[in-house]
Amino acid sequence: MSGQIQIYDTTLRDGTQGEGITFSVEDKLKITRRLDRMGFHYVEGGWPGSNPKDMEFFQRVRQEQYRNTCLCAFSSTRKAGRPAHEDRNLLAIAECGVRTAALFGKSWDFHVYRALGTTLEENLAMVRDSVAFLKGRGLEVIFDAEHFFDGYQANPQYAMAVVRAAEEAGADTIALCDTNGGTLPTELKEMVAYVRQALAVPLGIHAHNDSGLAVANSIMAVEAGCTQVQGTINGYGERCGNVDLCAVIPNLVFKKRLDCIPEQNLVYLTDLSRYVNELANMNPEVRQPFVGTSAFAHKGGIHVNALLKDSHTYEHLPPESVGNKRRVLVSELSGLSNLVYKYRELNLGLETDSAEYRRILNELKDLEHQGFQFEGAEGSFELLLRKAYNGYHKPFLLETMRILTELRDEGHVYTEAIIKLRVNDQVVHTAAEGNGPVNALDAALRKALEEFYPAIARMKLHDYKVRVLNEKSGTGAVVRVLIETGDGRKSWGTVGVSSNIIEASWQALADSFAYGILKMGENNGPNAKAP
């Protein structure tokens, strides 16, 4: 292994073949700009001959300027029995304005017969003609040998004949594709090593994750001589997805110490992952390696005790190196070390009174036994710590609350929340309507508090979840309500538990406002101005 490992991103093309994944043209332009700033070597923008959206993207991208990225267009080899210079897909690539083309062709004889319905000889001619045509138009050509590893295991002579045909026609790089994602790492490494010895052209790897081995296969391929890794952000892709570049890149940079994406740019990797998730309207995978919110989360008391001494005890690399952060969770599995860590993290002032720590810890464990869950409710958890140990004063107190719900003609439901609050010795009495009890409570609380804490206007309720904790109790069951709130810059979770869903909702909602006020610095007195 020597030289630079090129990173080839196909989120905008192969990634969009994943279930539920779609990007607008504007989304694709935004992602391309972010990838360029990160230092990605290639970005595959789409298939210009296949649909109007990709055609528009390649038209608009001509106005863009990239410092690090080569934009690539994707297509198949020519159709059987049709000259390359008359093939609509090849002409679309040649005319779309890119300097690099990715061309895929069949390297598994089974696919040639069953999918293409042509002869092995014609398929070889299709590869040669298509690569030569695009090279003749002055393009860099990356040939994707589709189903290479399955094809090699079924008929190694023919699979090798396909990649040799691409090399002879002038392909600049040949990417070996594990299209069905079923190849084992040791087998894949042997096959890549053989191809590396047989061909002079640089090799790439394009791995799918159907066996959960795409990252391992990509790293094995690099070890065997591949100098290009193709994949997607967050592992988007058809079926189980493509290889996740958010996992491959830090492994190559930090573990293999290879020249890849600049190391200093990886501090933006977590932001990139979440940015692409946001544009795709996908929920982040919390256990995603390196960039997931749980990737550096610690819960066991013994683990946290060791972390306080040295973070290397339970972390394979510093979370900051990939733009992530360490999280210490508190639950019934926690020890005193978890609380010590959280007090240090929150800068609340560390005391040595272990009896007080134990009292707070026992209270937390008792609350979790009742059904509270603080792992996803950091807002409620911090408020609990402050109330218990740091002289925290609530920004408002509830005196009374009433919820009125009426079912009217034609099934229309009318809900009104009436609340009386005390804010710094001033009583506020207000009411608001909503499309349900929680919405009405949210509106009434805002109406009562915005005069005192104007920045509340920035706070929005992002998510509301209810979980029944003891189903056998029927309608009298205890429920847990989790609320996620954000202010445009960060989000936080809060929790409430009760056998009355309105009470549980109020607990979580009130905590969400109190925590937001705390973090905005507005709990020091009424009439504070928004920053």
What b/e string do you get for 507-520 counting C-beta neighbours within 10 Å, with b at 16 or more? bbbbbbbbbbbbbb
Asked if residue 333 has pLDDT above 60, the reply is no
Q: What angle do CA 248, 249, 250 make, to 5 degrees?
A: 100
310 and 211 co-located in one domain: no
Name the more confident of 390 and 380.
380
Beta bridge partners of 230: 8, 206
pTM for the whole thing? 0.74
Q: What is the pLDDT of residues 164-203, one digit of tens each?
A: 999 999 999 999 999 999 999 999 999 999 999 999 999 9
258 and 309 co-located in one domain: no
The range of the structural domain enclosing residue 324 comes to: 297-370
Distance CA 419, CA 452 (A): 16
Distance CA 428, CA 419 (A): 8
At a CB cut-off of 8 Å and minimum separation 6, what does 279 contact? 23, 27, 30, 31
4 neighbors 42 (Cβ within 8 angstroms)? no
What b/e string do you get for 143-171 counting C-beta neighbours within 10 Å, with b at 16 or more? bbbbbbbbbbeebeebbbbbbbbbbebbb
For residue 380, is it within any domain?
no
For residue 41, is it within any domain?
yes
What is the pLDDT, as a whole number, of residue 522? 40
Look at residues 102, 117, 99 and name the one whose alpha carbon lies nearest to residue 49: 102
For residue 140, is it within any domain?
yes
148 and 185 co-located in one domain: yes
Asked if residue 71 has pLDDT above 90, the reply is yes
DSSP 314: S
Look at residues 395, 418, 396, 393 and name the one whose alpha carbon lies nearest to residue 405: 418
Tokens representing residue 241 in the block: 């997805």
Domain CATH code at residue 11: 3.20.20.70
Mean pLDDT across 391-420: 84
Query: What is the overall mean pLDDT for the chain?
Result: 87
363 and 411 co-located in one domain: no
**Other C-beta atoms within 10 Å of 312: how many?**
11
188 neighbors 152 (Cβ within 8 angstroms)? no
Mean pLDDT across 446-464: 88
DSSP 264: G
Handedness of CA 133, 142, 161, 113 (dihedral sign): negative
For the ranges 93-97, 379-383, 503-507, which has the lowest average pLDDT? Answer: 379-383
275 and 338 co-located in one domain: no
402 and 455 co-located in one domain: yes
Domain CATH code at residue 420: 3.30.160.270
Distance CA 397, CA 378 (A): 21
Taking phi over 0 as left and psi of -120 to 50 as alpha, with beta for the rest, 347 belongs to left
124 neighbors 145 (Cβ within 8 angstroms)? no
What is the pLDDT, as a whole number, of residue 467? 84
77 and 112 co-located in one domain: yes
Name the more confident of 488 and 136.
136
Contacts of range 457-460, beta carbons closer than 8 Å, 24 or more positions apart:
457/530, 458/487, 458/488, 458/530, 459/485, 459/486, 459/487, 459/512, 459/513, 459/516, 460/485, 460/486, 460/487, 460/488
Helices (H) and strands (E) in the chain, counts: 17, 16
Q: What is the pLDDT of residues 95-108, one digit of tens each?
A: 999 999 999 999 99
Collapsing DSSP to helix, strand or coil, 426 comes out as: strand
Q: How many structural domains comprise the chain?
A: 3
Environment class of residue 281 by beta-carbon count within 10 Å: exposed (0-12), middle (13-18) or buried (19+)?
A: exposed
419 neighbors 431 (Cβ within 8 angstroms)? yes
Collapsing DSSP to helix, strand or coil, 402 comes out as: strand
For residue 91, is it within any domain?
yes
Asked if residue 529 has pLDDT above 60, the reply is no
28 and 156 co-located in one domain: yes
For residue 387, is it within any domain?
no
402 and 323 co-located in one domain: no
pLDDT band at 304 (very low <50, low <70, confident <90, very high): low
79 and 197 co-located in one domain: yes
Strands 460-468 and 479-486: antiparallel
For residue 381, is it within any domain?
no
- DSSP symbols for 166-216: HHHTT-SEEEEEETTS---HHHHHHHHHHHHHH--S-EEEEEB-TTS-HHH
For residue 526, is it within any domain?
no
Asked if residue 526 has pLDDT above 50, the reply is no
For residue 482, is it within any domain?
yes
Q: What is the pLDDT of residues 223-281, one digit of tens each?
A: 999 999 999 999 999 999 999 999 999 999 999 999 999 999 999 999 999 999 989 98
Distance CA 20, CA 280 (A): 8
Q: What is the pLDDT of residues 414-430, one digit of tens each?
A: 889 999 999 988 999 99
165 neighbors 157 (Cβ within 8 angstroms)? no
310 and 405 co-located in one domain: no
Q: What number of residues does the chain have?
A: 531
Q: What is the pLDDT of residues 248-264, one digit of tens each?
A: 999 999 999 999 999 99
Mean pLDDT across 454-477: 80
What is the pLDDT, as a whole number, of residue 163? 98
68 and 178 co-located in one domain: yes
